[in-house]
Structure 1
């Protein structure tokens, strides 16, 4: 062995022993979710003697880098394997995101190029010992239309009541080669709550509470010049636990959001049809430029869905599915909703079913105030500012007729039961 090789081996040996000594001082009882390459503040202090070796000489610096791969101190997902390096699920677990977030659960990912994740934030003053949970939305491409829509909308809606807080602007993480937007973690969605309720539907009082809050949400985001275009039960979340006000509902997912046009007339050119076909307005099906009336029409469909557990056009969609798969049966509510969702995207003329459904059928068994809300919405012209306060007051007056109307709905208690 040459003297140069001997010297290099000696340096690597010393670095290795110092690294082991520093690692042994870490208290893994508190489960450090960070990594040697991106340690939390506690781990960084304990690793300080090891990291200081980089200052000795270039050879020591090289050896230190070799001993600090971006592997994690602890494993959070036993048995989870992501074989494709290009997939966003794999990228999100390649390293610590922005050197402070550790992904531990995939909420959902689409086609491998965008996704939503739960992660630990170990960037606080106590590091991993008090790591909080956050939601991270991620995109592979920085030119993704939904990425641009979502991040642009959250920038405009910063501080808006009932819209989740974002932790800084969207950022690019070179270690994982992704664009990310860390956000406040909220509670379960109304869709999650529905699946836990008897008959998977809301009672009249609960629907009225949703109507009042959603009118407030849309009033606020429309005032800031944003059209949501994403109304569905899965895009409305309960407030985080132990926060005030406890009955607050949050509106999420602005991937299809568009700015409210300044022109008093809709665009003469057909726009892309995006959104959930079960809940989108009839005019949106035809690619007609959206305005406030479209969000409120979608809200009317949502309220009907919450009360009945389904929409009048769901059964024709299900019949279409069974015509292709004879004898096919659905065993649970979650599977039923997923299949209806898929069929609605495949069936291009859902709008015909909507137009053929009279309001009396859409709001069957519901209070008259829902029919009045429908008439007001359908009477709106493009870009006309709705009378949100009158709409809200009508639902509030109806709510007063119910017992215990002064107490807000305890959504979390319903979810736990």
Structure 2
């Protein structure tokens, strides 16, 4: 589908005029629209409603419920303008964001500088800390679920979105952490899944923190050791991936990656390893690792990101000279900040 192709007269809730299809998946569609009354650009997730009498909660309905736990206007989370029904669809109307971090990494020819990774890590840890404070774990921490703010609004803010895989880790009746269980249903992307998630253990806050470590390593190095496992057997692939993540000895692929990384990553990984099920991560300690590195290097927290100042990269970027979020610079699906 051509992402620049305009749709014929199509509005949602009589207010939002759809202009482009941003992405499609088994769960539904994501479209770009604008508010007829204010002109504001928005992104809209939509999926068909179940028409029979069977009680089925769609992933979009579930995500709507999750967003209700996050106060509107919370820094680093998109505002929800409307969630509910429109004709035969469930719809979720939210802020239009900029490109996601995976798309921007590719535009920066595969990797970010340590300065940019440090600034991103600081903000991403803040987003996870806030989500955890609401009794939620993300269960799907990956670069595609973090996007920069729109260029004309707040391009230096990292937004966390797409919470369809999130779940409560607090029992809403007792207020206590959910008990440890085995053989739980796996959630999210296995590429960034924690070791306990591989074992299908009940997830907790530590799992999000571990997943973020893999994300940050990928943003810095451009790849992860388990990217090219030489097998077509899915079960064998999962076993090898688990073994790689669990082995941090100096001669192992993951241990070697940590050894080639700035020391902050090894300290981060050590904190993950020492966390027990249900234990609260030390967010300040982890953020402090990257902040201290920035202080030592003389990097200000308001320094331009790599895609803003492409001259800091050895090969420059593939972005236009000025960072402008425009549909004509966006690749279908891969660059879509709200792709399902």
TM-score, normalised with respect to structure 1: 0.65
Match of 1:161 in 2: 75
Hey, what's the Cα distance between the residues in 2 that align with 1:308 and 1:204? Answer: 10
Please state how far the C-alpha of 1:382 moved relative to its aligned partner: 1.4
SS in 1 for 2:12: coil
Q: 1:234 corresponds to which residue?
A: 144
| Distance of 2:111 and 2:37 partners within structure 1 | 41
| Structure 2 residue 18 is the aligned partner of structure 1 residue 77 | no
Task: Using the TM superposition, give the Cα deviation of residue 212 of structure 1 relative to its aligned residue in structure 2, in angstroms.
Answer: 1.0
CA contact (8 A) 1:209 1:409 kept: no
Secondary structure, aligned partner of 1:181: strand
State the secondary structure of the residue aligned to 1:156: coil
**Corresponding position of 2:16:** 101
Distance 2:46 2:234 in 1: 26
Encode CA deviations 1:124-152: one digit per residue, 9 max, x unaligned.
3xxxxxx2221001121363442233112
Gaps of 5+ in 2: 51-55, 310-318, 322-340
Name the count of aligned residue pairs.
Answer: 294
Is 1:261 the equivalent of 2:176?
no
**Equivalent runs, 1:190-209 vs 2, <5 Å:** 190-198=101-109, 200-209=110-119
Aligned to 2:53: none
Whether 2:266 is the aligned partner of 1:353: answer no
Structure 2 CA distance for partners of 1:269 and 1:145, relative to 1, 3 Å? farther
Q: Show the counterpart of 1:413.
A: 308
Q: 2:269 aligns with which of 356, 370, 374?
A: 374
* Aligned partner of residue 413 in structure 1, secondary structure: coil
Larger relative CO (CA 8 A, sep 6+): 1 or 2? 2
Is residue 21–residue 30 contact of structure 2 (8 Å, CA) maintained in 1?
Answer: yes
Counterparts of 1:112-261 in structure 2 under 5 Å?
A: 113-124=27-38, 131-141=39-49, 143-159=56-72, 160-168=74-82, 170-174=83-87, 177-198=88-109, 200-244=110-154, 246-261=155-170
1:325 aligns with none
Q: Residues 167, 371 of structure 1: CA spacing in aligned structure 2 closer, same or farther, 3 A cutoff?
A: same
Instruction: Describe the shift of the 1:162–1:257 C-alpha distance in structure 2 as closer, same or farther (beyond 3 A).
Output: same
Shift of 1:218: 0.8
Structure 1 residues not aligned, in runs of 5+ = 1-75, 81-92, 125-130, 322-342
Larger deviation, residues 360-369 vs 279-288: 360-369
Q: Measure the CA separation in 2 of the matches of 1:376 and 1:240.
A: 34
Flag the structure with higher strand content. 2
**CA gap 1:399/1:140 in 2 versus in 1, 3 angstroms:** same
1:389-414 deviation line (CA, Å, top 9, x unaligned): 12111210011122443533336625
**Residue 315 of structure 1 aligns with which residue?**
228
C-alpha distance in 1 between matches for 2:81 and 2:234:
35
- Greater fraction of residues in helix: 1
CA positional deviation for 1:293: 0.1
Cα offset, 1:236, TM superposition: 0.8
Is the partner of 1:202 in helix, strand or coil? coil
- Residues 406 and 223 from structure 1, CA distance in 2 versus in 1: closer, same or farther, beyond 3 angstroms? closer
Q: Give, in whole Å, the separation in 1 of the partners of 2:34 and 2:234.
A: 36
Distance in 1 separating the partners of 2:67 and 2:276: 27
Q: Contact 1:215–1:392 (CA<8 Å) still a contact in 2?
A: yes
Larger radius of gyration: 1
Name the CA distance, whole Å, in 2 between partners of 1:345 and 1:180: 36
| Distance apart, 1:348 and its partner CA | 3.8
State the secondary structure of the residue aligned to 1:107: strand
